[in-house]
């Protein structure tokens, strides 16, 4: 068995794919994900690569090769030849390194929540009204680290979001993105009356957007306790609608999402305080 670093052109990748006679079914979504990483310049040379067995059949790397063809960009890759046929059963059985893993290795606290929140912020900034789940919404580890470098305030946003999640079941992702987006767009607004009242629920009268947001999400949580789904996009929409009403001094007794409703932007308007706590 011998391994070498080689430059794999799209033409060579296309030829090698013809030697794919006993591999698992190709995932088009995974190919698209790798191709996008190549196009963004995120491809890096690692020990993982392309492998051929003793008879020259391709036994590992079909997704990488298909992605090189799709991206139409040559990349460096480790190519191993002469792998025993019996090794096929133990290939690709390791766990892929997640965004949480990458952030934890970088020394970040709350890495699980932070990874999800950074992904949510990326989608909010680039595709707010698209689906936030599935392969089409995948965000690479390099992208997560880049988002954190550009928006370091997300670390504090996650810390502010965790108590909100515990208090009224909003997802940490929605609360963190909502907190960061509003604080970043309106730094002159004191967020603490908003946050404290959402967490405690104390002294809120009917029509206060904070009470309406709390009650709406608590009711949703009670009705969806049996469902496993990511409600972050819906929760963020409710968060921003409520925050806009609060900062504008408007009552909000009903909170719902209309069919086809787009993600709200942070309001630039401000009205005199109207609520019981002076906020």
How much is the pLDDT for 85? 76
Chain region(s) in the chain for CATH 3.90.1530: 2-83
Whole-structure pTM value = 0.69
Helix (H, G, I), strand (E, B) or coil at 9: coil
Please answer whether residues 16 and 69 qualify as being in contact, where contact means their C-beta atoms are separated by less than 8 angstroms. no
Nearest to 79 by CA among 10, 3, 1: 3
Lowest mean pLDDT among 149-158, 174-183, 218-227, 265-274: 218-227
Higher pLDDT, residue 213 or 54 = 213
Q: What is the average per-residue pLDDT within 182-197?
A: 95
- CA angle 198/199/204 to nearest 5° reads 45
> How far is 210 from 143, CA to CA, in rounded Å?
33
Lowest mean pLDDT among 42-46, 86-90, 180-184, 232-236: 86-90
How much is the pLDDT for 23? 65
Helical (H) or strand (E) element with 7 = strand 2-8
Residue 272 in this model has a pLDDT that exceeds 70: no
Q: Note the residue count of the chain.
A: 279
What is the layout of strands, in order, in the sheet containing 2-8?
2-8, 75-83, 49-53, 58-60
Residue 105's alpha-carbon distances to 46, 139, 142, 150, 176, in angstroms, are: 17, 18, 13, 19, 22
Residue 172 in this model has a pLDDT that exceeds 90: yes
Residue 274 in this model has a pLDDT that exceeds 60: no
Residue 189 in this model has a pLDDT that exceeds 50: yes
> How far is 20 from 278, CA to CA, in rounded Å?
69
Nearest to 82 by CA among 178, 2, 170: 2
How much is the pLDDT for 276? 44
> How far is 118 from 125, CA to CA, in rounded Å?
11
How much is the pLDDT for 132? 83
Please answer whether residues 206 and 253 qualify as being in contact, where contact means their C-beta atoms are separated by less than 8 angstroms. yes
Name the packing angle between helices 111-126 and 141-150 (round to 10°): 80
Higher pLDDT, residue 140 or 74 = 74
Residue 273 in this model has a pLDDT that exceeds 60: no
Give the CATH fold of the 2-83 domain: 3.90.1530
For residue 186 the two structure tokens come to: 């309106």
Higher pLDDT, residue 37 or 271 = 37
How much is the pLDDT for 105? 76
For residue 278 the two structure tokens come to: 């002076």
How much is the pLDDT for 226? 46
How much is the pLDDT for 157? 98
Q: How far is CA 121 from the centre of its chain?
A: 7
Find all residues with CB under 8 Å of 64, minimum gap 6, and list them. 34, 49, 50, 77
How much is the pLDDT for 224? 64
Give the model confidence (pLDDT) of 93-140 as tens digits: 445 668 888 898 788 999 999 999 999 999 999 999 888 876 667 888
Per cent of the chain over pLDDT 90 is: 62
Residue 210 in this model has a pLDDT that exceeds 70: yes
Helical (H) or strand (E) element with 49 = strand 49-53
């Amino acid at each position: 068995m011998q391994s070498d670093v080689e430059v794999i052109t799209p033409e060579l990748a296309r030829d090698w794919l013809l030697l794919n006679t006993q591999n698992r079914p190709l995932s088009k979504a995974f190919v698209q994900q790798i191709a996008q990483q190549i196009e963004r310049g995120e491809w890096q040379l690692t020990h993982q690569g392309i492998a051929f067995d003793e008879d020259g059949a391709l036994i590992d790397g079909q997704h990488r090769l298909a992605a090189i063809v799709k991206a139409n960009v040559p990349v460096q890759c480790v190519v191993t030849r002469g792998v025993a046929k019996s090794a096929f059963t133990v290939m690709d059985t390791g766990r892929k390194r997640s965004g949480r893993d990458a952030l934890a290795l970088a020394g970040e606290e709350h890495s699980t929540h932070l990874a999800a929140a950074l992904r949510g912020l990326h989608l909010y900034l680039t595709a707010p009204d698209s689906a936030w789940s599935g392969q089409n919404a995948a965000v690479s580890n390099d992208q997560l680290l880049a988002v954190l470098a550009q928006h370091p305030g997300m670390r504090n946003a996650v810390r502010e979001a965790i108590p909100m999640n515990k208090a009224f079941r909003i997802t940490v992702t929605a609360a963190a993105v909502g907190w960061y987006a509003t604080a970043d767009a309106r730094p002159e607004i004191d967020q603490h009356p908003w946050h404290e009242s959402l967490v405690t629920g104390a002294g809120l009268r009917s029509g206060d957007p904070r009470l309406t947001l709390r009650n709406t999400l608590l009711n949703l949580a009670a009705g969806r306790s049996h469902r496993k789904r990511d409600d972050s996009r819906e929760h963020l929409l409710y968060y921003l609608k409520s925050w806009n009403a609060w900062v504008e001094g408007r009552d909000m007794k009903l909170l719902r999402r209309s069919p086809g409703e787009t993600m709200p932007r942070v309001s630039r308007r401000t009205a005199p305080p109207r609520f019981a706590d002076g906020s």
